[in-house]
Structure 1
Amino acid sequence: MNTFHSTRSTDEMLTARQAIRRGLAADGGLYVSDAITEHRIDVASLVGAPYQRIAATVLGALLPDYDEAELAQCIAEAYGEQWSDPAITPLKPLGDDYVLELFNGPTSAFKDVALQMLPRLMSRTATNAKERDERIMILTATSGDTGKAALSGFADVPGTGITVFYPQGKVSPVQKLQMTTQSGSNVTVAAVRGNFDDAQSAVKAIFADHEQARRLADEHHVVLSSANSINIGRLAPQVVYYFAAYCQLVERGDVSVGDGVEFCVPTGNFGDVLAGYYAKMLGLPVKHLIVASDRNKVLFDFLTTGTYDRKRPFYQTISPSMDILVSSNLERMLYYMADRDTRLVNMMMNDLAEEYVFETPTPLLDKIRSLFGCGWADETQVREAIGSCWNDHHYVIDPHTACGYFVMQRIPRDPATPRVLLSTASPYKFPRAVSESLGLDTTGTDFTCMDTLAKATGTTAPKALRDLEWASERFDTVIDIDHMGELVSRAAAHL
């Protein structure tokens, strides 16, 4: 059976259930399994299969202590009628390339693929009487999309509660409304004064506060876990859509099983592209993974120089979910690329925490570059990409996808290698920025912009987004970073 341990040590070995329940390792590292490279998924056997069967195969390999019946039930609940497309993540042509739509779930963002599954996995993690008596508080910082997707997944799930922190003024108005109007008796939402990295660092500090953990357990029978992609139960479901995309290419006759495919991935926290690396380790013929960044191009600079330096200006952009300077999931990639050298990973992460920078040994950087390419787009280029994608292909993309589209258009293309752009969110989550980019009238509210965009492009706003205009906001709390722990304790007391 696979066991999981921290990227920074092998002192503690856990099952998949235990790793999902805890979320973050006690030493601050992320849970990984050394058995991943021992599995090889037969891609040919999945061609023509529905998304649900692909998910069962991939998740069965990654999370083997969930039995077949458990996974089948989780998958049926996670990928059902709440999705607007039966393919879940349909692949569509985009000129000579392809776009993988990841936004057909209930909150119109790619996070739904994982966060419809994670609550189902989490609810099955209790293995003894003590754990069955505990309640799990999901603690999450969001740069925009994770918050709503997690709230939607965990709202009123028995035995759980969820507290979400988002950076005040640094998410889109639609993203904010999605969170602040969330229903559910077990949910708490608060804005924090600072940026996403500040909130994410504070969340990690709360996880590392053993005294607070003891108080929560003793006084409220509550344990903390995470819905960010630092949780392996959040990352694993994202691996599935790489296999689904490849199988759709084979079904179209555009590749034969075994042919390499290139994926271009807009990413800030590195989880979305890391899932592609996991797919490759499981045997998917991934030729290259292109990391697309916005103006906060810390990943681009890392991949081009080998220096990861978070000592830089933070830019608020029209692609807020990528406005991140500390890409947590990079740590998992470094672990595997460094031949599982926990000491090296621990040293680099300590340097990042203490000096705000780390250097990558040249042989390791060369190995990383053999798989990962990169590029970035500034605000003007993002807007131009939205416009050119519509003008050239009559396909509307959001600002995050536009970062990927811009980068993909500028990287030399191998005509023999299909390229797939991962589209991470509905353009209707960012209607003003998209409408501006298309030269449309943007007077009025974001909801007016939705209607203008729909009329001009012949597309339709997802009902859940359009109906936010009439939803009542439940949460208006704004706190300082150093008060986040107190809010978590208060929320736990009411579970």
Structure 2
Amino acid sequence: MLYNSTRNSELKVSAAQAITQGISVEGGLFVPEELPKLNDADFEQLIDKSYVERAIVILAKFLTDFSDVEIRYCAENAYTDKKFKSNHIAELSCLLDGTYMLELWHGPTCAFKDMALQILPYLLTTSAKKVAKGKKIVILVATSGDTGKAALEGFKDVPDTQILVFYPEDGVSAMQKRQMTTQEGKNVAVSAIEGNFDDAQTGVKQIFTDPKIVAKLAENNMMFSSANSINWGRLLPQIVYYISTYCELVKDEEIAMGDLVNVVVPTGNFGNILAAYYAKKMGVPIGKLICASNANNVLTDFIKTGTYNKIRDFHTTISPSMDILISSNLERLLYDLCGRDDKKITEWFRQLGETGRYTVDAHVMEKLSESFFAGCCDDEQTKETIKKIFDQYSYLCDTHTAVAVKVAQDYKQETGDDRKMIIVSTASPYKFAPSVLSAVAGQAAEDDYEQLDQLEELSKLEIPKALADLKDKEVRFTGSVKKENMEQVVLAMLGLA
């Protein structure tokens, strides 16, 4: 299988090249030439397998330049009981109304990003040996909170790599910030920026594609790659958990093979819901893909109108990982919906860069509406949902998952669709303890760690050890820079300034 760029369909690279490079030279994102299909025999084979075994089968369909031994090595080392506190890796909790919470936060950093970022270092180092042997891989990351810590933990002390993470100074939770700034490892560096996530993401993309910086790295036997979901190696493992979850529901006799289910995803950068779309195209019986946004509802407006407009107020919310106005992975979806027309994609994203908006054509809008529904909610509605679900089901969800729950309820009320529903739960409630406590108890202690104790007493859920241990860790990274100075910071961190 070869991969094209969304902005150059003539370009063809191997999976190893796509993963190592991260982003195409002209700024496009790598996508497979075609998606593999799963037939009835494939599902019958997958249903009785473990998560790791399912991952091996699915990854092999995309990574055709990897050996069976290499794929098994990557999957078996990523998804272990030492890293994930769930036997199933991706855990399912059933609410009483036919709604299933897909808990993707039982990994080492208590967020769904672990599902991909525990395996990405193995995929990337294996790929680099094929196409960039002897080079140091410099992982450059922009984060709205969870990706940063998950990437830092995944790449910590991985040989021949260095990872640099930028996060918005006032745009992450206290616990997310503490996770990043206390990160251990000799090959890691972290910096805040004076701006929001979109500023960080734009800065990283500009650095990635700056010929002078790329040349400077090449002179020193280095090359950039990414741990953001612009990297195909980040997105591919996310497809696995949607396929695995459907198989698990069939195995548990919650659904029959072939039954349609709806999937609800809280998303800002569109990667998590795009993975569900790809799973659907591969043959997973998914009905509607429901895109849930917070007050930064640029995706909701786009899916409803066909116009993407980033020129709007930016809101700092209690679901900070979704505080995004430029959704990178939407480009991959549009490339698929417009028949892989790279000229259309290039023009739309040129317009976005120059005017802050673009409008897709009627054909793309029709296809978009066939698969997607979108909704949003504000902070007050998010808190109300957290309390309602806790009071009704004794189930505690974080501020991002609550957005998905609220939009799922709105979808059912608006459409009357009574299909069973998978709601993607993206983070432990302990990562956003102040907001969760405010929702269910009305107030929270001032000290971050007293908040964890308070939440444990209230919910009877054990505090994740990874978060409890932060109290005694040294803060290593305290710097903050202006967004226009990110380039100098990168070069200084690499010793190339």
Using the TM superposition, give the Cα deviation of residue 14 of structure 1 relative to its aligned residue in structure 2, in angstroms.
Answer: 0.6
| Counterpart Cα distance in 2 of 1:319 and 1:40 | 38
Aligned to 1:402, the other structure's residue is in SS state: helix
Q: Structure 1: where are the runs of 5+ without partners? A: none
Aligned to 1:373, the other structure's residue is in SS state: strand
Question: What residue in structure 1 maps to residue 205 of structure 2?
Answer: 204
Task: Establish whether residue 113 from structure 1 lines up as the match of residue 115 from structure 2.
Answer: yes
Question: What residue in structure 2 maps to residue 464 of structure 1?
Answer: 466
Aligned to 2:327, the other structure's residue is in SS state: coil
Task: Establish whether residue 3 from structure 1 lines up as the match of residue 2 from structure 2.
Answer: yes
| Counterpart Cα distance in 1 of 2:461 and 2:49 | 29
Q: Which amino acid aligns with 2:390?
A: W
| Counterpart Cα distance in 1 of 2:363 and 2:134 | 49
Question: What residue in structure 1 maps to residue 48 of structure 2?
Answer: 48
Higher mean C-alpha displacement, 190-199 vs 247-256: 247-256
Check the 8 A contact 1:216/1:492 in 2, yes or no.
no
Q: Which amino acid aligns with 1:187?
A: V
Aligned to 2:326, the other structure's residue is in SS state: coil
> What does 1:382-461 correspond to in 2, within 5 Å?
382-412=382-412, 417-461=419-463
| Counterpart Cα distance in 2 of 1:416 and 1:286 | 13
Question: What residue in structure 2 maps to residue 158 of structure 1?
Answer: 159
> What does 1:57-96 correspond to in 2, within 5 Å?
57-80=57-80, 81-96=82-97
Aligned to 2:183, the other structure's residue is in SS state: coil
| Counterpart Cα distance in 1 of 2:51 and 2:140 | 29
**Percent of aligned pairs with the same amino acid:** 42
> What does 1:323-362 correspond to in 2, within 5 Å?
323-362=323-362
Higher mean C-alpha displacement, 437-446 vs 287-296: 437-446
Deviations 1:233-292 (A, max 9, x none): 000000011011111211221211111111000000000000001111211111111000
Aligned to 1:476, the other structure's residue is in SS state: coil
Question: What residue in structure 2 maps to residue 15 of structure 1?
Answer: 14
Q: Among residues 476, 479, 487, which one is paired with 1:477 in the alignment? A: 479
Q: Which amino acid aligns with 2:3?
A: F
Check the 8 A contact 2:7/2:346 in 1, yes or no.
yes
> What does 1:150-229 correspond to in 2, within 5 Å?
150-218=151-219, 220-229=220-229
Note closer, same or farther for the CA distance 1:319–1:106 as it changes in structure 2 (3 Å cut). Answer: same
Task: Establish whether residue 314 from structure 1 lines up as the match of residue 303 from structure 2.
Answer: no
Task: Establish whether residue 267 from structure 1 lines up as the match of residue 259 from structure 2.
Answer: no
Question: What residue in structure 1 maps to residue 146 of structure 2?
Answer: 145
Question: What residue in structure 1 maps to residue 128 of structure 2?
Answer: 126
Aligned to 2:487, the other structure's residue is in SS state: helix
| Counterpart Cα distance in 2 of 1:493 and 1:118 | 25
Aligned to 1:411, the other structure's residue is in SS state: helix
Q: Which amino acid aligns with 2:406?
A: F
Deviations 1:195-241 (A, max 9, x none): 000010010000110111101110x2110000000000000000011
Deviations 1:431-481 (A, max 9, x none): 000000002541221211111110011111101101112211000010011
Check the 8 A contact 1:222/1:492 in 2, yes or no.
no
| Counterpart Cα distance in 1 of 2:138 and 2:430 | 31
| Counterpart Cα distance in 2 of 1:328 and 1:189 | 22
Using the TM superposition, give the Cα deviation of residue 127 of structure 1 relative to its aligned residue in structure 2, in angstroms.
Answer: 4.5
Using the TM superposition, give the Cα deviation of residue 48 of structure 1 relative to its aligned residue in structure 2, in angstroms.
Answer: 2.4
Q: Which amino acid aligns with 1:493?
A: G
| Counterpart Cα distance in 2 of 1:421 and 1:9 | 35
Q: Which amino acid aligns with 1:206?
A: I
| Counterpart Cα distance in 1 of 2:211 and 2:387 | 50
Deviations 1:14-63 (A, max 9, x none): 10000000001111110011221556582222112110011011111122
Check the 8 A contact 1:44/1:257 in 2, yes or no.
no
Aligned to 1:103, the other structure's residue is in SS state: coil
Check the 8 A contact 1:78/1:116 in 2, yes or no.
yes
Aligned to 2:9, the other structure's residue is in SS state: coil
| Counterpart Cα distance in 2 of 1:272 and 1:319 | 16
| Counterpart Cα distance in 2 of 1:380 and 1:416 | 26
| Counterpart Cα distance in 2 of 1:177 and 1:420 | 31
Q: TM-score, normalised by structure 1?
A: 0.97
Higher mean C-alpha displacement, 253-262 vs 368-377: 253-262
Q: Which amino acid aligns with 1:109?
A: A
| Counterpart Cα distance in 1 of 2:277 and 2:63 | 17
Check the 8 A contact 1:141/1:228 in 2, yes or no.
yes
| Counterpart Cα distance in 2 of 1:46 and 1:309 | 41
Higher mean C-alpha displacement, 76-85 vs 484-493: 484-493
| Counterpart Cα distance in 2 of 1:391 and 1:288 | 28
Task: Establish whether residue 36 from structure 1 lines up as the match of residue 35 from structure 2.
Answer: yes
Using the TM superposition, give the Cα deviation of residue 189 of structure 1 relative to its aligned residue in structure 2, in angstroms.
Answer: 0.2
Question: What residue in structure 1 maps to residue 305 of structure 2?
Answer: 305
Question: What residue in structure 2 maps to residue 240 of structure 1?
Answer: 240
| Counterpart Cα distance in 1 of 2:39 and 2:270 | 23
Check the 8 A contact 1:401/1:424 in 2, yes or no.
yes
| Counterpart Cα distance in 2 of 1:428 and 1:61 | 36
| Counterpart Cα distance in 2 of 1:144 and 1:287 | 30
Deviations 1:90-135 (A, max 9, x none): 111012111000000000000000000000001111346x822210
Using the TM superposition, give the Cα deviation of residue 11 of structure 1 relative to its aligned residue in structure 2, in angstroms.
Answer: 3.5
Matched residue count: 492
Using the TM superposition, give the Cα deviation of residue 362 of structure 1 relative to its aligned residue in structure 2, in angstroms.
Answer: 1.4
| Counterpart Cα distance in 2 of 1:272 and 1:63 | 20
Q: Which amino acid aligns with 1:29?
A: G
| Counterpart Cα distance in 2 of 1:51 and 1:443 | 39
| Counterpart Cα distance in 1 of 2:129 and 2:154 | 22
Question: What residue in structure 1 maps to residue 280 of structure 2?
Answer: 280
Question: What residue in structure 2 maps to residue 103 of structure 1?
Answer: 105
Q: Structure 2: where are the runs of 5+ without partners? A: none
Q: TM-score, normalised by structure 2?
A: 0.97
| Counterpart Cα distance in 2 of 1:226 and 1:371 | 29
| Counterpart Cα distance in 2 of 1:39 and 1:375 | 30
Check the 8 A contact 1:427/1:434 in 2, yes or no.
yes
Q: Which amino acid aligns with 2:15?
A: A
